[in-house]
Structure 1
């Protein structure tokens, strides 16, 4: 088994050599999206693009994005850490380095990356470090993980714009991790589209009330 880190330890990232070992094979997950029936893990249509977002507990985050016109599929998962193919229980220990994240596959002819970024910034508080509201730990940190250098630059520019808007309202600096994507590990079946299956389930999303000035 694995030990759960103390409160203070969960606010730090583990070193790679200290992370849980994980496994070589992916954990079992759903085959199709519960809401729209699309293949969860692909293949996706050739024209689709994607981004990985982390905004705290992935249940509410996934629902936020599957409702947006132009989104082809969403999936809950884990990214940003060290442990290959982790389980939910392992991620919750804080010893994988992963954050709860959502893969958003979208049609760029319908939905622009800037619109996704605007939703991302406005619908959570990106200034909280290793937490989101009452959800505390490195597995709840804010993050943007991009598919290529062009998207990365767009995301970094949006961060600078929103940070100015936040600071004009007396709020702190953005702590969001912005990087090129690494491996994305799909979460267990029961996490996929959780709030479609459990409409009254927990959703921790809460924005700052500040508008992101992306044109």
Structure 2
């Protein structure tokens, strides 16, 4: 655009319809911060969005909200892990606060304003992943060798040991279910083993 046409446009001498943004490119190339500029009548000036004060907290909260399937438990009930990157987030206690967990198990705490940004997303993630108690025992596996039978399940750290499959299951059931313990005879001993080291 020739400078005379721009000057005519700025002074209102031209009757051409104004197209927002069409003539501003000539001005924007010479604009500098802190200087005063005349903008054509009818131009819409939009302020740039403010820079976030806590960009890391915003990114973490957005990731938890928008891609919840990318997050899982590293240690159930203690810290979440962002599976693609390995980033770990301590979430065990809201009063204690949120922290980034390092590979050596050290932690860097987030500030209170950062926690205020991240906690709602974490609380929503935790709320959607709660599994209520159904009252049914999980599916157990029973194995045996030389007259000794073992009963265990992947979700529980205990194995019941007995001389028959029914006895091994009964002992395992007593170990993991409070409701099943009402059937224990007084003075009866249970043979349990830990299946996790």
TM-score category of the 2 structures, normalised to the smaller one: under 0.3
User: TM-score, structure 2 length as denominator?
Assistant: 0.22
User: TM-score, structure 1 length as denominator?
Assistant: 0.20
Q: Which has the higher contact order (CA 8 A, sep 6+)?
A: 1
Which of the pair has more CA radius of gyration? 2
More helix by share: 2
